[in-house]
Amino acid sequence: MGGDYAPGVAVEGVAAALYDFPDYEIVLVGHAAKLAFYLEKYGIADHPHLKVQHAETVVEMRDPSSIALRAKRNSSMTVCARLLKEKQVEAIVSAGHTGAAVASTKVLVRTLPGVDRPMIATNMPAQGGRFILADGGANTDCEPHHLIQFAVMGSIYAEFLYGESSPRIGLLSVGGEDIKGNKLTKEAFPILEQLPLNFVGNVEADAIFERAADVLICDGFTGNVFLKCSEGLARSTIFWLKSVFTKNMLRKTSAMFSRNAFRELKSFGDAEELGGAPLLGINGICSIGHGSSSPKSIRNAIRVAADCIKFGLNEKIVESISQTHTTTRELAAAAAAAQP
């Protein structure tokens, strides 16, 4: 029920997923009466692999995140989280309120053993490839040991997504040198160096677009600024392209002949193929789509969520976190004590 074009877009995406993946069982969570129209429209009202779970309310974009747990306990987001908690579903997909998704899954579903905070793993475009931004916005204030856990989870997610056996982990900082950064990154750096990860050191925000790392670790505030800055600049580039290519007839003609080129350019930033970013560290799979998700995005987010289950993503995270857990805590405490 969340997202800019709900619930029509979600139902259309579910219809596509049911058609393309006959082995999936899908539960649509939302206002039953409002969903009925779209279920008819997309011809899945009586689909044997679809169940509708009624949810009375919706967490609106302007609501504070905590509302999902307090005033709106029957919101579609909270009901989803409850289904995941009760193991009635293995994964949830939402294009709604990110903060509410984080809050409700964190409190109701809880985190995986050894994980303190779930994080959003956002897949971003780079020159000739992609990289994962972690955390993309779930945790506005972080401690060093959170960044370490993001690195461990991000490494496994990159293994899943890119098929890399030893993904390169970079720490987002303001200078390539070890000595640069803020208090948080300076404390996290020496710990990251000692973990069994392919840690490549500090990575600046421009170098990552030239694929300086496969995973870029940062606190969720910085990560969200990075993400939104990229989105804003991409939209502005389209605005600027339009403004320069409509200036005179010759340019308009060139632009017309270059339509496919511009379409391809746009596709570099396209997030549709993955559909959403997973909230990693939750005891269940949780994928969060953009508020403006298309039906194709919803369908793909469902596919990626199913693939995460098949890959055993969470089992691998638990195993890896447990291997690094003691080291991480000890090193973080030592580093904090050593900080002047």
33 touches a second copy (CB under 8 A): no
Give 69 or 156: the residue with its C-beta nearer to a second copy: 69
Which of the stretches 44-52, 101-109, 203-211, 297-305 binds a second copy when contact is defined by CB under 8 A? 203-211
The pairing of strands 285-289 and 276-280 is: antiparallel
Are residues 114 and 323 in contact, defined by beta-carbon separation less than 8 angstroms?
no
Instruction: Say what angle helices 144-162 and 313-338 make with each other, to 10 degrees.
Output: 150
292 touches a second copy (CB under 8 A): no
Give 102 or 317: the residue with its C-beta nearer to a second copy: 102
Contact pick of 204, 323, 327, 329 for a second copy (by CB under 8 A): 204
Contact pick of 5, 21, 24, 221 for a second copy (by CB under 8 A): 221
165 touches a second copy (CB under 8 A): no
Adjacent-strand bridge partners of 132: 123, 215
**Vertex 128: Cα angle to 131 and 242 (nearest 5):** 100
125 touches a second copy (CB under 8 A): yes
Contact pick of 71, 194, 251, 333 for a second copy (by CB under 8 A): 251
Structural tokens at position 157: 């997610």
Taking the C-alpha atoms of residue 154 and residue 150, their distance in angstroms, rounded to an integer, is: 6
Q: Write out the DSSP string of 5-23.
A: TTTHHHHHHHHHHHHH-TT
Contact pick of 226, 289, 305, 331 for a second copy (by CB under 8 A): 226
User: Which residues have C-beta within 8 Å of that of residue 329, sequence separation ≥ 6?
Assistant: 145
DSSP 8-state assignment for residue 112: P
Which of the stretches 36-44, 79-87, 105-113, 206-214 binds a second copy when contact is defined by CB under 8 A? 206-214
Q: What residue ranges bind a second copy (CB under 8 A)?
A: 62, 64, 99, 125-127, 137, 140-141, 172, 174-175, 177, 179-183, 204-210, 218-222, 224-237, 239-241, 244-245, 247, 250-251, 253-255, 257-258, 260-262, 264-265, 268
